[in-house]
Structure 1
Amino acid sequence: MTTSLQQQFEFLSEIERLREVDRQNLLLDGSRQENSAEHSWHLALYALAFGPYAPTGVSIQRVIKMLLLHDIVEIDVGDHPIDEPTNWQAVAEAEERAMERIFSLLPADQCAELTALWREFEADQSADARFAKALDYCQPIFQTLCANAPPPDHMRVVRENLTTGRAVSLKDRFPEAYAAAMTLMEGAALTDADFAARLAFVCEADQLKSIYRASRIASGARFENSAEHSWHIMLYAWLMNGHSATMSEVTRVLTMLLLHDLVEIDAGDVPIHSKIDAATLKRIEEEELAAAKRLFGLLPEAQGQDCLAIWQEFEAAESDDAVYAKSIDRVQPVILNLATGGGSWVDYNVTLPQLDARVGVKVAKGAPAVWDHMRALLLPWFTQHGRL
């Protein structure tokens, strides 16, 4: 009999492919195109940062969930740049079919939940959906306007979008963002200090897309980056919350995982299977705390302090929410290693006892059923390679 965990893992493995869907816009440094997985993470961060500008009654946590989901259909249909001739009705029909195929991998109740949220976003009628759509319109615009050296053609697309395209709707949905975009497009400085601070924060966060981890993406084509990793584990945490051993509040867990790796912009990623002595670990912890204070310090003070507090709660790993968040942070790399023939286990010569100690203990503390399921999956690999 297929269990809910099997279905959830199948879905989460399938949507991992979103990392290989490239979009038109570039990273802020111009080094490459952004992919749809890291774009979805960045939008969730936009929602958190610009939440204070949302209309009364908007649920930012529902907005974040919509944005985590909204582009998953691109696994089947790809991304469609807004300036290219496109049969949008045909695209909408293809996306509906893709949604039905992909979400049907989940248990029926979660399939229904995600389907309803995705369709609400697409319908663009509710207050939550309208603000989520506004953020989806904003991010590519600011990716261009705040870039180091935006291509002239991208600037043309932004100008057209703001004057005659879908982003005109920002005048009503998110007037502060529309005003800021028009100001930046004309080469002037922003006068709304709080908006400028939040924009500086989300732009600085773009660098997380260039922090690479020890695990490869499932296709093996490249190493994963920490932004797309954060997107993926947020979905792990959301969907597997029913297996949590603690009384975790999923909305707080999602916020923790949205923010948890931002410090790697300054401190870098530390592979879990690397050998680190006590002095090095202390130095890393100090560097990460300094990074958290710098990055969250870019935000308006009260919001920055809130983000720093929830990041510190995650790091302390003592609250129910943090225990579960920490456990889920350990799950996804195991699945990627299985998909890539061992991945970082080969690179770091990892044995099963080491994996039990470094990963299993933490996962089992927060989600024991998840670890039981995973260990049964990974045991054949360690047996085959003589690493018991």
Structure 2
Amino acid sequence: MTDRIAQQVAFLTEIDKLKAVDRMNPLLDGSRPENSAEHSWHLALYALVFWDFAHEDADLSAAIRMLLLHDIVEIDAGDHPIHLVSDWSVVAEKEAQAAERIFGFLPADQAQALRNDRLEFEAGISPAAYFANMLDRCQPIFQTIFNEKLEQLPPVDHLDVVKANLSTGRATHLKDGFPDAYAEASKQLGWQEDGGSEIFLQRLAFVNEVDRLKSVLRATTLCDGSRRENSGEHSWHIAMYAIILAEHADRPINIDRVIQMLLIHDLVEIDAGDKPIHGDHDVAEIEAIEQAAADRIFGLLPVDQGQKLRALWDEFEAAESDDAVFAKSVDRVQPVIANLETGGGSWIEYNVSRQQLEDRVGWKVAKGAPSLWEHLQARIREWFLENQLL
């Protein structure tokens, strides 16, 4: 079991590199290019929000998994903007090689499962994969159309790229595959008078608003120590943690609910900001701010859907159900691994002792995934001994 966990942790550490792969399209505020990790999180959230526009036979859970992992190959192969001339057969070969290397960190059974999910997405034939591809095509379009600094974005005319994509490129499939998205994009471009339905527009306002989570910085850094992690890419990473580590849950869980929980668990930080677990905070004040943030953000959605996702967020916060306990475990363990990879990270910044780590983090990880916390003990013990912070 220890070897299996070691392989899983090695994979989860390796895919941290996806946070350093920049895409062509920028964040909605125009501040910087979007990276492939936060893009993958945003797409999974698109799926959660827009799923009733998919074919009735489409499997939401399968689509979310595909969208979370579909761009991992870009760690080796890079992102390939649609407006540039590329030899797509060469790109496909590079991505296949990347899948073999990166998924190869995992135990064989999990590696094959992820390869199968990726191939299903690439084929785009199953109802889930087909609609997942529609989401992958429309998200960059709305990132551009509603961008706050569209005219200032170098180095290409992003709006011209969108127009070409919708008129003759891959996004033409939205007309049949996601008509509301195609109609709204066409209306925004001045091509037609009618746009998406009212319920589509409410959901679009929500997914546009939560783009701001990609600008909320956390205390934890990337595993290479190059910069602070943001809460959007963190949400992607711990969803992947949940997928890979689900077998180590202490009690039976519904992994699909756990993943959905983790996709939305930090949305309140758009208003409340990140509050490092080792920082000094007024807990009651933070809770009040986060509750108000949840009211506002989930309130952007149609009432029934907003209430459903709000209840899922409340469940995560309460951390009483088996699903929420495990979700909290992976949320807490990911920064621990990042700190171990970076020579201490936020433990040094906040002068954390080993007992404080145990009191604030360890028991929460152990409650949901005891074998995982046990596996990390040797590395934790060694680091605190070396740094004399016992």
| TM-score grouping bracket, smaller chain normalisation | over 0.9
Please state how far the C-alpha of 1:377 moved relative to its aligned partner. 1.6
- Tell me, yes or no, if structure 1 residue 24 matches structure 2 residue 50: no
1:254 paired residue number:
259
Root-mean-square deviation over aligned CA pairs: 1.2
- Tell me, yes or no, if structure 1 residue 267 matches structure 2 residue 272: yes
Please state how far the C-alpha of 1:149 moved relative to its aligned partner. 2.4
Using the size of structure 1 for normalisation, the TM-score is 0.97
1:149 paired residue number:
149
**Aligned with 1:236 (options 238, 241, 246):** 241
Q: Is the 8 A contact 2:24 2:33 kept in 1?
A: yes
Please state how far the C-alpha of 1:191 moved relative to its aligned partner. 5.4
Q: Is the 8 A contact 2:183 2:196 kept in 1?
A: no
1:325 paired residue number:
327
Using the size of structure 2 for normalisation, the TM-score is 0.97
Please state how far the C-alpha of 1:2 moved relative to its aligned partner. 6.4
Distance of 2:261 and 2:289 partners within structure 1: 19
Distance of 1:244 and 1:373 partners within structure 2: 14
Percent of aligned pairs sharing the same letter: 56
1:176 paired residue number:
180
2:242 partner amino acid? A
Q: Is the 8 A contact 2:183 2:194 kept in 1?
A: no
Q: Is the 8 A contact 2:224 2:342 kept in 1?
A: yes
Distance of 1:259 and 1:109 partners within structure 2: 29
2:364 paired residue number:
362
1:192 paired residue number:
197
2:230 paired residue number:
225
Stretches of structure 2 that go unaligned for 5 or more consecutive residues are none
Distance of 1:136 and 1:376 partners within structure 2: 41
- Tell me, yes or no, if structure 1 residue 79 matches structure 2 residue 79: yes
Distance of 1:35 and 1:228 partners within structure 2: 8
Tell me how many residue pairs correspond in the alignment. 385
User: Residue 34 of structure 2: SS of its match in structure 1?
Assistant: strand
Stretch moving more, 66-75 or 215-224: 215-224
1:24 partner amino acid? M
- Pairing 1:5-16 to 2, within 5 Å after superposition: 5-16=5-16
2:296 partner amino acid? R
Q: Cα deviations across residues 67-126 of structure 1 (Å, max 9, x unaligned)?
A: 000000000010000000100110001101100111111111111111110001111111
1:334 paired residue number:
336
Q: Is the 8 A contact 2:23 2:36 kept in 1?
A: yes
Q: Is the 8 A contact 2:271 2:293 kept in 1?
A: yes
Q: Is the 8 A contact 2:77 2:91 kept in 1?
A: yes
Distance of 2:75 and 2:2 partners within structure 1: 24
1:309 paired residue number:
311
User: Residue 24 of structure 2: SS of its match in structure 1?
Assistant: strand
User: Residue 262 of structure 1: SS of its match in structure 2?
Assistant: coil
- Tell me, yes or no, if structure 1 residue 288 matches structure 2 residue 290: yes
Distance of 2:147 and 2:120 partners within structure 1: 32
Q: Which runs of 4+ in 1 moved over 6 A?
A: none
Please state how far the C-alpha of 1:340 moved relative to its aligned partner. 1.2
Stretches of structure 1 that go unaligned for 5 or more consecutive residues are none
Please state how far the C-alpha of 1:189 moved relative to its aligned partner. 7.8
Distance of 1:202 and 1:2 partners within structure 2: 39
Q: Cα deviations across residues 346-387 of structure 1 (Å, max 9, x unaligned)?
A: 000000000011000100000000000112221111000111
Stretch moving more, 46-55 or 184-193: 184-193
- Tell me, yes or no, if structure 1 residue 299 matches structure 2 residue 306: no
